[in-house]
Amino acid sequence: MRNVIAIADKELRSYFASPIGYVLVGFFALLFGYFFYVYLGFFIRSSEQMMQQGGGAPNVNQDMIGGLLQNAAVIILFALPMITMRTYSEEKRSGTIELLLTSPVTDMQIILGKFIGAMGLYASMLAVTLLYIAILFLLGKPEWRPIATGYLGLLLMGGCFISVGLLISSLTKNQIVAGFMTFVVFLLLWVINWVGESSSPTTREIVNYLSVTEHLNDFVRGILDTKHIVYYLSFITFGLFLTAKSVDSERWRG
């Protein structure tokens, strides 16, 4: 565990020693802020309309925060390859991988350290956006539980992406290749359910189950379903396991 923390700490520092950490946190906050602004405007207009028509007030959680978090997932899809692309590629290119692999640490400790480091940066990206949510709490009374599950869902979904990103980064020396490949794979994982829409119900169900973003919907709605948690956790475990295999086979190939 000590080793895992040492590596996670080093990873997290290296994100903030270069501009990449600040750029990601900053731009994510900016884009999230833009979506927040758009959704807020939309929410205000629709609530005015509904008031005039004599209906009840719309729900902040359902009509605004839900959509906002769904959109955040898309930004995350673009941002995470930039976190993971350098994790292994850069170590391989600069030769520092020799230091890690000749130190008394196991491959899994290195991988977990890198995973936790990347999750740390991702979590700080999400943490900054809580400021916007805080504004809603100042002005109104949103339910906090669906927000909490929504963020948990985002965190788990990001974990899946990061584990895939680590795997791809461990396959190449070139971070640009790693970044691009990761992005393509993320995109596929995101749009895989489009296939389902025009096919038989069975296929649709299978494809929906495989889609990483599909599982986010319940979290955003405030539903905490073990089915989705199990899906995400097993996805992450599988990704990290494959990364371990990739690192090990790299070692044999030399």
Partner 1 sequence: MIEVQHLTKRYGRVTAVDDVSFRVERGEILGFLGPNGAGKSTTMRILSGYMPATEGRATVAGFDVFDKPIDAKRRIGYLPETPPLYPDMTVREYLDFVARIKGVASKEKKERVAAVMMRTHIADMADRHCGKLSKGYKQRVGLAQALIHNPDVLILDEPTAGLDPKQIIETRELIRGLAGDHTIVLSTHILPEVAQTCQRVVIINKGRVVAVDTPDNLTARLKGAETMYVQVDAEGADAGATLGALPGVMRVAAAEQRGTIAGFEVESERGTDIRRDIARAVVNRGWGLLELRPMRMSLEEIFLQVTTEELPTEKLDGSGLEVPPGLSDPGPSDPQTHGPSDPNHA
Secondary structure (DSSP) of 27-85: HHHHHHHHHHHHHHHHHHHHHHHHHHTT-PPPPHIIIIIHHHHHHHHHHHHHHHHHHHT
Q: State which residue, 201 or 254, has the beta carbon closest to partner 1.
A: 254
Q: What's the CA gap between 179 and 181, in Å, rounded?
A: 6
User: 3-class SS at 139?
Assistant: helix
Q: State which residue, 102 or 200, has the beta carbon closest to partner 1.
A: 102
Provide CB contacts within 8 A for 246, sequence distance 6+. 167, 170, 171
Token code pair at residue 105: 């640490």
- Answer yes or no: are the C-beta atoms of 84 and 169 closer than 8 Å: yes
Contact between 1 and partner 1 by CB under 8 A: the answer reads no
Q: What's the CA gap between 18 and 176, in Å, rounded?
A: 17
Q: What does the per-residue mask of binding to partner 1 show for 158-197, with x meaning CB under 8 A?
A: ----------------------------------------
Cβ at position 163, least distance to partner 1 in Å: 22
Cβ at position 103, least distance to partner 1 in Å: 5
Site for partner 1 in 80-109 (CB under 8 A): 94-106
Contact between 23 and partner 1 by CB under 8 A: the answer reads no
Q: How many CB atoms lie within 10 A of CB 7?
A: 22
Contact between 112 and partner 1 by CB under 8 A: the answer reads no
Stretch that binds partner 1, among 14-22, 26-34, 70-78, 118-126 (CB under 8 A): 14-22
Q: State which residue, 90 or 218, has the beta carbon closest to partner 1.
A: 90
Q: State which residue, 19 or 55, has the beta carbon closest to partner 1.
A: 19
DSSP letter for 154, please.
Answer: H
Stretch that binds partner 1, among 59-67, 206-214, 223-231, 246-254 (CB under 8 A): 246-254
Contact between 3 and partner 1 by CB under 8 A: the answer reads yes
- Answer yes or no: are the C-beta atoms of 61 and 147 closer than 8 Å: yes
Q: Which residues bind partner 1 (CB under 8 A)?
A: 2-3, 6-7, 9-10, 13-14, 17-18, 94-106, 251-254
